[in-house]
Amino acid sequence: MFDFKRRASKLKRDIPALILALRIKETPLIAKLLAGIIMVYAFSPIDFIPDFIPFLGYLDDLIILPLLISITVKLIPNEIMENCRMEASTHINKINKRWLYSIPFILIWLVIILIIFKYFY
């Protein structure tokens, strides 16, 4: 049976690694072009199937993008991709830890908003 959870976590790890692989000169040009197309398509408001069409609208995001990502990963040499995956995981861990520093500021702003809300209502 197809393991969606495992595939989704692999894709979640491979996307930042692809961005890092774009910067490496040993990455094949075809992989760089395909990765660029993926990034443009992923962030573009224009889809092959518009998102407002029920069910079918998200089908391209669930099938086309993962398929393009897996093809691009296969075009990049394993050594480069593994190095990029390791570097991406360290960057993600650093970002996750940095986010924790923002919690006190978020709490302070929430208290200020609650005080203002309580004052006017």
Helix (H, G, I), strand (E, B) or coil at 12: helix
How far, in Å, CA of 92 to CA of 73, rounded? 19
pLDDT in tens, 4-37: 677 777 777 788 888 888 889 999 999 999 988 8
pLDDT score for 72: 92
Q: Give residue-wise pLDDT tens across range 34-62.
A: 988 887 877 777 777 776 777 777 777 77
Q: What is the pLDDT of residue 94?
A: 60
pLDDT of residue 22: 87
Eight-state DSSP code of residue 76:
S
Query: Residue 80 pLDDT more than 90?
Result: yes
pLDDT digits (tens, 9 = 90+) for 66-78: 888 889 999 999 9
Which residue is listed with tokens 């609650």?
114
Q: What integer pLDDT is reported at residue 10 of this predicted model? A: 77
- Look up the domain containing 95 and give its range: 4-120
Question: Per-residue confidence at 95, pLDDT binned at 50, 70, 90?
Answer: low
What are the CB-based long-range contacts (under 8 Å, 24+) for 83-87? 84/17, 84/18, 84/20, 84/21, 84/24, 85/13, 85/14, 85/17, 87/17, 87/20
Number of structural domains the chain divides into: 1
Q: What is the pTM of this model?
A: 0.63
Residue 117 clears pLDDT 80, i.e. is over it: yes
